[in-house]
Structure formats: structure tokens, C-alpha cells
Amino acid sequence: MKKESRIVHAGLHPDRFEGVVNPPVFRASTVLAPTVAELKARHPQRFDVTYYGRYGTPTTRALEEAVAEIEGGSKAILVSSGLAAISSTLLALLRQGDHLLMVDSAYYPTRAFCDQILVTYGIETTYYDPMIGAGIADLIRPNTRVVFTESPGSQTFEVQDIPAIAEAAHVAGALVVMDNTWGLLSFQPFEKGVDVSLQAATKYLGGHSDAMLGTIATADRALWERIKNHVCLMGHAVGTEEVYLGLRGVRTLPIRLRQHFEAGLTVARWLESRPEVARVLHPALPGCPGHDLWKRDFTGGCGLFSIELSLPASGDLPEAAVNEMLDHYHFFKLGYSWGGFESLVVPATPLRTAAPLPAGTGPIVRYHVGLEDTDDLIADLEQGFDRLKAAVAAL
């Protein structure tokens, strides 16, 4: 079967639920055992047994099975958000005195977690250029335990050479963790050398802007057990209603992603033609850093990308003018998320320390193309550029 067909049916076991197609929502904390012997046999390390609600229910395991299928792994873990997936994994894999290599283009809360939380555990973080590739070997120390990747990068969308990074990391005995939220169906992390793949399932997997979820997937059972044990002992528990919404989102994921990607490319190519745009940062377009790597390693994408606005002859594009463009869109609503059915926009403020953006870079704006008609979205953007030009002229 092709992957799209497997995803539609992953985690479904109607034979267990009297023929019901979707797994029911198990709202459970207490799980009873018929005998003392059975009660003692259900201990926390038996993660595949329903022991206590916080450790998982049949609903939880149904979505975990589906996520493992999506990622191409063997096992998955659910947590309450994408950041919980990131923080739980890093805390499970790192100890005091360890060293972490973190991509410089990472999701801002990931960076904040490293700088504000990991440092208090005595764990050092070094940020690296997302385009470093095999050169990552020069940054690996004897105490480097994890190389964290995010490809494409948040806001600036650099595509990393994951196979080269993984090869260098594994030679040195380090694990590779990847935030795979952007490429959740189009990038197969374990085929490229990733050890742990993370997703903010709040985004496309949920798909309807109404559920907070995070996922952790591995291809190695021992590694899965290590992270799962940590997640459980830290008290993480994901709500069963959110899990059910995630299961609902899985069934339409391939067709929704295809539409988001195709619509996003249509809008991105139109933006390339606009004089107000200096660059379109979309991995599927040649102007994006790592575009050749995208062609090699990805089979598609999603609807999220950024643009860099052109600077006027004066060399300055006032923030007030950009805000005038963004404040009055009809379809592109201002909101710090993506992956839902609706189009969104935010002004981007990349924080970079290892690979600063070039001097003279114009303001960056991040768009998420939803499921609206692309002609309507393009008309919305065109009106925004009209407001931008009028605002610049008035200032």
C-alpha cells in the first residue's frame, strides 16, 4: 500500500470496538485489574499495557500508532504541545555537563528553552549555522550528546543537509533530533539518519486550529522507552479530547497537505513577481537557501513560507508602513500559529547568533496559506501592497 492509504487506516481497530470505525474517547484515570497478580504485573515500565490514564489509553495508542506510520518510525509518544515534545526529548537525552548543538534557525521557544532552562541544568548549548552540513563535525565535542535540527528553519526556511549532519553526529556518538513539523509527510526522517523526530501536532496533524498536541517518534524501541519513561515521570499527560481531534485530522492529512502545498506555491510564485518583494523564502523555490537539498530529500511540503520585503531607495522601510499592510488583510489574519484551514500572517523577527542575517536584509513576513481560493488570497495580498506603498509615500 502507498503511504497515503496506510495513513487513512493507521491506528484503526474496529474489531476491538464492535466494528466502530474510529477509536472511542477513553476518559480514564483509573484502570482496574481483576487480581492482585495482574495489578502488580501492570507496572509503569510496561508502556504497552493500560496501567494508569496518564501513561496512555487505547485512544492515545491509536494516535501514537498513526504518528509512527506518518513518520516512518516504529513507536511514538504523545504530549500536550510541540514545545513539550521538544523539552521532554532534550531533558530525556541530556544530563549535567552535556553539550547540545542547536540549529540557529530554530523555533524561538526552542531557543528560549535552551537559554533559560537547559542552562540551569548545567547543559551547554552551541548554536550553529543551519547550512553547515558535514561541517558540523568541527563543532562536535567529546560531551556533545545531541545535534538538534529543524528543516526548514523557522521564519527563514533554510533546508539542512540532514544526512550529512547525521553521519557526522553518529560517528561521534551523538544523537540527531529533528523538528519535522514542516515536512511531516514529505520528509522521512529515519531514512535520512534522524534518531528522534518531533512534531507540533497542533499544526497540520490537528489541522483545524482547535487542539494542542505534540508528538515524539523513534525507530528504536530502547530510545522510545527512555523518552517515554521520562515523559511519564515528568507528569506529562495529553487530553483524550485533543487526541481524538488529532485522530480526526490524520484521516484527511494527505489531501489537506497537498492542497496547502499547491496553493502555497501558487501564492509564493505570484509574490516572486512583485517589486515589493526582495526574496521569497520557500524551500520549493530556487531562491531559498538549501533548495537543492529540498529537491533531493523532500517529496512536497506545506503552506508555510516567508518573504523579505524590498527596501526603498532611502534604505529604510518603516515598521508603521509594514504594519499598515498587515493590519488590514481580509483573509490573512494575524496569529502566531499555522497548519490550520485558515490563512495567517505574522511579522517575523529572526533571532540569530551563529549565522546573522546579511546587513541590509529587509523586513521578513511569514505567511501560512490556508484552504481559501488562491485568487482571493492573491487579491488580498495585492491590496496589502497598495497599502504599503501608500503608507511609505505618506511617511
Catalytic residue list contains 75: no
Q: How far is CA 257 from the centre of its chain?
A: 14
Q: Is 295 a catalytic residue?
A: no
Q: Is 269 a catalytic residue?
A: no
- Per-residue DSSP letter, 280: E
Catalytic residue among 3, 42, 54, 248: 54
Q: Give the whole-angstrom CA distance, residue 266 versus residue 209.
A: 23
What are the strands of the beta sheet with 75-79, ordered from one edge?
75-79, 214-218, 196-199, 175-179, 144-150, 99-103, 124-128
Task: Please confirm, yes or no, whether 203 is among the known catalytic residues.
Answer: yes
| Angle (CA) 169 173 177, round 5° | 50
Choosing from 111, 203, 228, 251, which is the catalytic residue?
Answer: 203
Annotated active-site residue in 51, 55, 98, 107:
107
Which cell is 262 given?
499547491
Q: Which of 179, 195, 297, 380 is catalytic?
A: 179
84 three-state secondary structure: helix
Write the CA distances from 136 to 41, 43, 162, integer angstroms: 46, 41, 11
β-pair partners for 188: none
In whole angstroms, how far apart are CA 327 and each of 61, 83, 384, 387, 393?
42, 28, 9, 10, 18
Give the active site residues.
Answer: 54, 107, 179, 203
